[in-house]
Amino acid sequence: MMILSSTTASSMSAGSHPLSPSDAYSALGYLGLCWDPVAESASLRRILAALAVEAPRLKLQLSHPGLMVFGEADAPRWSVDGDREGTLALIGTAFDTASLGEAGAAGAQPDGLAGMTDLGLLRAAWGGFVAIRRRGGGSGWTFLREPGGTAPALIAEGAGLVLLAPSLPRWLREAAGIAPRIDVPMLARALFNPLLPTWRSLLQGVHQLPAGCAIDWDGHGIGAARTLWPGHEVLSDPVPEDPTAPAHLRSTVIGCVRALAARHQRVTLELSGGLDSAIVLGALASAPEPIDISCVNFAVAHAGGDERSEARAVADRWGVRMIEVAADARELRFEDLLLGEQPVEPVLFGLDPILERASVGVAQAFDSHAIFTGQGGDAIFCNLPTPLVAVDYARAMGWRAFGSRVAYHAAQRAHCSIWRVQALMLVDRFAPLRPPPQSLPGMQLGARAAALAGPLSRHPWLAGDAGMAPARRMQLGAIANCQHFHSPTWRSGAAALVHPLLARPIVEACLAIPTYRLAQGSGNRALARQLFADWLPECVRTRRDKGDATNYYRRAVAENVPFLRELLLDGVLVAHGLLDGAGIDTALSDASLIWSYESRLIVAYASFEAWARYWGLERSGDSGAFRVRSI
């Protein structure tokens, strides 16, 4: 094992990938342009001229009347393919669903997909792609995003054209004549639910294309997002007991991980020492023709965050190299990520500059073309410490569920009494339970934010979940929340950032197994541990707890109090009453940082503050009226 400090790991770079957050946030891996071919577009000429200067790595990959798609020819994650008739363009990684097996999957063929419906296309192909489809032979277009969410997709309308891109750097906005303005009520909603930007843009004139959805452009305006996935086969209940489902889940995980990795010659895996990344490494390293794998483990010098011994055991099990990065909260500086150009949505997932810098450095040192993670495993494998799992069982089994050990095990996992579990089971028999929507309310929100926010927004995937059993609804909600792992990060600008466990076939395979089977026994993710036991060292297979970096990030906030206090208390969000200055001040006090969880969303609010300043929210001299300039 190679043991490095965070500073040393961050300098392990070779190659020409962007190393600054601002460069990564504005990286343009592809660009799709659609217009009415019979109409002249000055915006198109300006964009083409700017492309040659600002993004010379982007080359024209596909061209038909009214359609141009640019991509990086040497970047597998941004490959471009289309059908012969010019009615369909696929951008990113697209595999044929029917061909998926443990060896991987064949690439999807656009000619075979072009005649399908939008929903049929998303069922027939999976991976990490966006698609552009011509509508009825006219000047209209439809944009689709694969449910896995790997390929980011923003839609914006210029003069006479519409563009599809993973980011909107300043030069592209200027060339297209796009001047986004902050949607203040939507910003207020996002402060109540920081995950909202994963499916709704906070900028007027910019549209977030949610995963599993489609958006139409008729040549005159951009329509609302249409939810295609999940369909009735995912949302329906009860889930049938299928004895072959666990074996299907194992083979699906193996095939999806190997198919995604086969696009890259070398990969870096963020190996935590937990179950999920160990499963990903097993699928990679056990392949008949394994690729070159480098693992990186982040060990935080605070209670609960050191999983080096487990990570070493996993790496030794497969004989792969592992770099250990010792992260110290005293070295963490949030301004490294928050001062400079900001992406179209506030940064949420990649807010640890030590992890971001070190992961990029290790990947570049070994010339890795992709960074793999185990993110999403808790959601898909049903690590839900809730007594509602027993309610799901009671719905499926009826009164005999009350005499089973499922309720007892659910009580153990949820750390509550068996009487509470059985009471919930009984109540649900007469009045079906609906768990409250999951949100992340902070204690520092201003009264004005509440006045502007309106009803709590939910992910579009959850619109049809009313008939699902309560724990299964929670599981689908947790999977929807995992879309924030695809948000802009420093890492994703330097290499393909892949969360393979969130691939659509894996998600569907997990949702086809009842929650009480996934969460069987008193441990967490018991079925997954059983299915992949042959890949797991004993210390991981029998582990009952998870690594916890809470103390590390609480210390990081404490180390950054002067910066965070100035940024927030003198910021535009407090000035306009969207955040409460007194609440921020209390959360940043020594007593709060030591004894309470009031600071848990402070860093997210700091990210929103940096984003709001960059995108034009300004102070005003007249009683807090909003002033928003176009950017």
Among 87, 175, 89, 91, CA closest to 139: 87
Q: What is the pLDDT of residue 330?
A: 87
The mean predicted confidence, pLDDT, of the chain is 90
Q: What is the pLDDT of residue 530?
A: 95
For range 338-365, the mean pLDDT: 91
pLDDT band for position 137 (cuts 50, 70, 90): low
Question: Residue 293 contacts by C-beta under 8 Å, 6 or more apart in sequence?
Answer: 266, 267, 268, 269, 281, 284, 285, 318, 320, 321
pLDDT tens digits, residue range 454-482? 887 899 999 988 889 999 999 999 999 99
Q: Does 166 have pLDDT greater than 80? A: yes
Q: Does 15 have pLDDT greater than 50? A: no
Q: What is the pLDDT of residue 305?
A: 64
pLDDT band for position 19 (cuts 50, 70, 90): low
| DSSP track, 184-234 | HHHHHHHHH-TTGGGTS-SEETEEE--TTEEEEE-SS-B---EE-SS-HHH
Q: What is the pLDDT of residue 599?
A: 80
Q: Does 9 have pLDDT greater than 70? A: no
pLDDT band for position 281 (cuts 50, 70, 90): very high
Pairing label, strands 141-145, 213-217: antiparallel
Q: What is the pLDDT of residue 437?
A: 61
Q: What is the pLDDT of residue 39?
A: 75
Q: Does 163 have pLDDT greater than 50? A: yes
Q: Does 424 have pLDDT greater than 90? A: yes
Q: What is the pTM of this model?
A: 0.94
pLDDT band for position 120 (cuts 50, 70, 90): very high
Spatial distance between the Cα atoms of 399 and 16, rounded to a whole number of angstroms: 63
Q: What is the pLDDT of residue 13?
A: 46
For range 487-504, the mean pLDDT: 93
Spatial distance between the Cα atoms of 623 and 333, rounded to a whole number of angstroms: 34
Q: Does 435 have pLDDT greater than 80? A: no
Q: What is the pLDDT of residue 441?
A: 56
Q: Does 416 have pLDDT greater than 50? A: yes
Q: Does 546 have pLDDT greater than 80? A: no
Which range is most confident: 57-71, 227-241, 591-605? 57-71
